[in-house]
């Protein structure tokens, strides 16, 4: 059950303005790109702090797309409010990640089955142990089925959600030894918020660069070039609403 006290300090919308499934890129411009290039009749429901959110339709189903900003504190705020104030059922992160394994190539897609982290985000729950953030399995299973149908190259496994982009200790490559596929900055907080709210979440990341080979993409390529991930996520949003 949602808290009807909306709009919130960060999302200037009412509950009815936002669909039950929200695609969540980090970059507000990527949110705008998805809305303008894929959604039918998109309507801007939020632009507080330039964090753009739109609702439209895809294949006849109502879907929202809204940016999360960078890092766990930022996605922590927006996903918490969407789950707990706007009664969103599922958030699908569509972001970028850096490959940590040699077989994970630039422009491959990684589905985050779990999200390791160096963040203290879970300390708020006072669990007395180490929490392992994981995605919703049914959403993951459906996503891989769509990827197979689309003929997309993908990997399923652990992400490393880092609190630091510029890491003095080279922490990302240490996680490589534990079989972690790629590093990003948001999935762990999203998964924890989903678990606490009894909702669903999945992080889908396109590999933008490789910490192994040094290959990388430009910011323009990251904004508009990850269209396979966007189409996959949109089709996923349709399928899980029809179940």
What pLDDT digit, counting tens, does each position of 162-175 carry?
998 888 776 667 89
Residues tagged active-site: 209
Whether the pLDDT of residue 51 is over 80: the answer is yes
Percentage of the chain modeled with pLDDT above 70? 95
Helices (H), 85-226: 137-150, 171-176, 187-197, 219-224
Q: pTM of the predicted model, to two decimals?
A: 0.94
Distance CA 212, CA 52 (A): 33
**Any bridge partners for residue 159, and if so which?**
115, 182
Altogether, the residues listed in the chain come to a count of: 243
* Model confidence band, residue 4 (pLDDT cutoffs 50, 70, 90): low
Mean pLDDT of the chain: 92
* Model confidence band, residue 223 (pLDDT cutoffs 50, 70, 90): low
Place of tokens 């990850």: 226
> Is residue 38 reached through a cis peptide bond, with omega within 30 degrees of 0 on the bond before it?
no
Q: What is the DSSP letter of 10?
A: S
Beta strands in the chain (DSSP E): 21-24, 40-46, 53-58, 61-66, 90-99, 109-117, 154-161, 182-184, 200-210
pLDDT of residue 3: 57
pLDDT of residue 50: 81
Check if the beta carbon of residue 90 is closer than 8 Å to that of residue 199.
Answer: yes
The region of weakest confidence among 3-7, 157-161, 227-231 is 3-7
pLDDT mean over 84-107 = 96
More confident residue, 5 or 45: 45
């Amino acid at each position: 059950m949602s808290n009807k006290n909306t709009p919130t300090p960060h999302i200037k919308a009412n509950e009815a303005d936002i669909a039950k499934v929200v695609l969540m890129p980090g970059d507000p411009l990527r949110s705008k790109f998805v809305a303008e290039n894929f959604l039918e009749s998109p309507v801007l429901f939020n632009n507080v702090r330039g964090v753009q959110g739109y609702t439209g339709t895809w294949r006849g189903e109502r879907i929202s797309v809204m940016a999360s900003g960078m890092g766990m504190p930022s996605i922590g705020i927006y996903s918490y409010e969407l789950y707990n104030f706007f009664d969103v059922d599922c958030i699908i992160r569509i972001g970028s990640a850096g490959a940590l394994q040699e077989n994970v190539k630039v422009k491959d897609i990684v589905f985050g089955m779990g999200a390791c982290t160096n963040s203290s985000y879970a300390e708020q729950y006072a669990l007395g142990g180490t929490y392992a953030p994981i995605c919703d399995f049914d959403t993951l299973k459906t996503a891989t089925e769509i990827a197979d149908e689309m003929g997309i190259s993908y990997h399923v496994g652990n992400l490393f959600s880092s609190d630091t982009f510029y890491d003095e200790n080279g922490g990302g490559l240490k996680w490589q030894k534990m079989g972690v596929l790629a590093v990003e900055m948001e999935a762990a907080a999203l998964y924890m918020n989903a678990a606490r709210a009894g909702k669903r979440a999945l992080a889908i990341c396109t590999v933008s660069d490789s910490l192994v080979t040094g290959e990388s993409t430009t910011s323009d390529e990251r904004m508009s070039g990850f269209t396979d991930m966007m189409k996959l996520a949109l089709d996923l949003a349709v399928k899980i609403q029809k179940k």
